[in-house]
Structure 1
Amino acid sequence: MSVEIELRGARVRYGPLEALHGVDLAMPSGRLTVLLGRNGSGRSTALHALAGIVPLSGGRVLWRGEDVTGLDAFRRARRGLALVPEQRAVFGSLTVEEHFALVTGDVGGRTPAFEAFPALRGLLKRRVGTLSGGEQRMVAVSLALLSGAGVLLLDEPGQGLAPAAAARMHQVLAEQAADGGRTVVVAEQQLRGALRGAAVVHVLRRGSVAFTGEPAEPGFTRRTRW
């Protein structure tokens, strides 16, 4: 498998604390990758480092072999990377329709969002701040889908969703990789449903990599016993 984007020897510090301890994480092109770990494991920091939200104190970010460590988040987004953070992913004062208009002015161009999350059709005129947490997650992920970005980074996209809705969310993301050819990286606490079909799972623990491989490999279950 060819590598789309990766961290090599990546270190991230927040003041005196080091959140990533020289990790190597590779995300294969056009496939689904899962970053697995509980809160404080470094999952979110790894996504933010890939997106350019937080600077590295050591190591590199490579995108298709090119060193983009010094490239800021705006320029990485312009090159085709979309990040859906765990928090503050939408604007509460804007309606769902206004959010979609930020990405595509063409109503017909919003079809992928409606196909993924049909419930959004009835919420277009609602201000996002009045929606449930799960509905807000649907809007945030829809923006990433509509952006056309080739690399999607999503931090706990199933957060706030009922189990069935979370399963649907994960299925949509798996399909984006399998059928849409996008490189999809999902950070979650547990490997469930469609996420079990990931090409690669990186298990993080306290800022270090505890396991890298396929879910079916020996040792995966042992490494995910929190």
Structure 2
Amino acid sequence: MTVEAELRGVRVRYGPLEALHGVDLAFPAGRVTVLLGRNGSGRTTALSALAGVLRPSAGRVLWRGREVSGVDAYRRARLGLAMVPAERAVFASLTVAENLRLPGPGGGEEAAGEIFPELAELLDRQAGTLSGGQQQLVALGRALLGRPRLLLLDEPDRGLAPAVTARLHGLLLDAAREGRTVVVAAQVLPRTLAPEALVHELHRGRVVFSGEPGELARDG
């Protein structure tokens, strides 16, 4: 198994509070990994450490075998990392079409319409005026069209209809089959991802399970 990215002994603090307590996590290349946990478990913090949004107070962040703990988020993005946070994931002052053109070649409203036709009637709207679910579609479309090597998604199905969520999960599995690495943070393991996913479960900043979804079910 080739590992795309890792957290090794990572600790992250918010002032006096420690959110991750020496966490070790490995994310295999060409696969979907689900970070499970309730609010406050540390899953969003783990994503943010991978993305460079947060700097660990201790430990190492590795990407393709290289330590990137001190590499800024924008530099990681240039190297092929994309993160879609749970909220405020669009450029609010730009139109939907302008947001979708940001990935450059391969992006744009036409390509986005092929995966999320729901966006077709919203292209001239300012992204900041959309509902939460519509903004999520814009952010997801932009990230997917950029074809990142490492894609990090924090509760990506928030505000989406079940049919759209199932379509999104299919797109994420397709991305993994193409060799890209996908990490999804969720409170509950999505059934449409479970057959092909690896699972890490966090609780209060510590890893309490790592393995296949079937092992998680037996363990529970």
The alpha-carbon deviation at position 151 of structure 1 amounts to 0.5
Q: Which residue of structure 1 aligns with residue 6 of structure 2?
A: 6
Matches within 5 A, 1:109-124: 110-124=109-123
Matched, 1:201 2:199: yes
SS in 2 for 1:194: coil
Separation in 1, partners of 2:150, 2:93: 28
Could you tell which deviates more after superposition, 10-19 or 156-165? 156-165
Q: Answer yes or no: is 1:62 the counterpart of 2:62.
A: yes
Tell me the amino acid that sits aligned with residue 87 of structure 1: E
Cross-structure match for 2:22: 22
What letter corresponds to residue 44 of structure 2 in structure 1?
S
Answer yes or no: is 1:184 the counterpart of 2:182. Answer: yes
Residues 179-222 of structure 1 deviation map (CA, whole Å, 9 limit, x = unaligned) = x32100000111123221343100011100010000012xx136
- Report the secondary structure of 1:144's partner residue: helix
In structure 2, runs of 5+ residues without a counterpart are none
Is 1:137 aligned with 2:136? yes
Q: Is the 8 A contact 2:100 2:112 kept in 1?
A: no
What is the DSSP-based 3-state SS (H/G/I as helix, E as strand, rest coil) of the residue aligned with 1:94?
A: coil
Q: Deviations over 1:2-44 (max 9, x none)?
A: 1000101010000000000001111000111100111100010
Residue number in structure 2 paired with 1:210: 208
Query: Where does residue 155 of structure 1 map in the other structure?
Result: 154
Q: Percent identity among equivalent residues?
A: 61
- Match for residue 35 of structure 1? 35
Q: CA deviation at 1:111?
A: 4.7
TM-score, normalised via structure 2 length = 0.93
1:112 and 1:39 map into 2 onto residues whose CA distance is 34
Alignment check: 8 A CA contact 1:112 1:145 kept = no
Q: CA deviation at 1:120?
A: 1.3
The Cα of 1:63 is off from its aligned counterpart by: 0.9
Question: Structure 1 pair 105/171, CA: closer, same or farther in 2 (3 Å)?
Answer: closer
Change (3 A) 1:223 1:59: farther
CA contact (8 A) 2:201 2:208 kept: yes
Cα separation, partners in 2 of 1:111 and 1:32, compared to 1, 3 Å: farther
